[in-house]
Amino acid sequence: MIARVLNAYMVELSKASRQALTYIGPVLVVLAVLCMPLVRRVARDGTSDYAFIAYATPMALNLLGLLVLLAYCASQVAAELGSGTIRMVLVRPLRRHEFLLAKLLLGMTYAVLLTFSAAATSWATVLAFGDLGGVSYGGEVIYTSGAMLTTYLVAAGLSLLPLFAAVAYATMISTFTRSTGAAVGAAVGIWLLVDIVKYPLRIAPLVFSTYIEAPWQVFANRCGGFEASWSPDALYGAATSAAWSTVLVSLAMLALARRNLNA
């Protein structure tokens, strides 16, 4: 099974590399970060510019990047169902759940690509135009540059877990329809609706999207010289994201298993 999933994943990567849509997300994220100096100043003035990185990365990734990720993943299975190519794919010794797992791996890879694009551009901007000498207060170094880089990497790793849950969510929506437009519209629309009602309904702690910003908040606090812990929000968010990912992937597998591919 693992070999078949990996082979299918490599095929999906090859297909994605030939699609212009694949490159739109990273380009938009990079452009968004490059525009951030218009809002947050970056300068070689002897003051560390980690605050710019803490602002630019989540702004580009968790707003624009998230919408692109939802649209990209929501289009994957729906496009195969709508065109009928899924029937040709499954003629080979590939089960439906293995096909779905390959699509999920592609979506997770895309989430990593978007995260890397935002991170690389943010750090490159500060390296080119600002300072990264650690966080100091009153002449005393509170966090070294190495400590800040480590914090950033941990934040990026933890932030991927809600994004992976978003991949599972959008992929699940994609299994319910044969129309790419309907899948993308439903994925984005339901996401926005849940974000609007989760606080009035007091269900926000149970929704993984609530914790997308949590890891970056730790990095932002340390940029200001404040001590910040990963617990409880970031770690609780990781657990919530993992639980939702399991549920959403299971629902997607069940929906695809029951689909009539000939209709």
Cα(234)–Cα(230) distance, integer angstroms: 5
My answer on whether omega of the bond before 232 falls inside 30° of 0, hence cis, is yes
Element (H, E) at 142: strand 140-143
Largest pairwise CA distance in the chain: 70
Would you say residue 263 lies in a domain? no
Q: Where are the alpha helices (DSSP H) in the chain?
A: 2-17, 20-35, 50-59, 66-83, 85-89, 96-129, 145-174, 180-197, 214-223, 233-257
Residues in the chain: 263
Would you say residue 34 lies in a domain? yes
Compute mean pLDDT per 10 residues along the chain, 263 residues long, and list them: 83 89 94 93 84 94 93 84 60 76 95 97 94 79 89 95 97 89 94 95 94 93 87 89 96 85 61
Would you say residue 185 lies in a domain? yes
Would you say residue 262 lies in a domain? no
Can you state the angle between helices 66-83 and 180-197, rounded to 10 degrees? Answer: 140
- Enclosing domain of residue 83: 2-257
Cα(263)–Cα(260) distance, integer angstroms: 6
pTM of the model: 0.92
| Domain total in the chain | 1
The answer to whether 25 and 68 have CB atoms below 8 angstroms apart is: yes
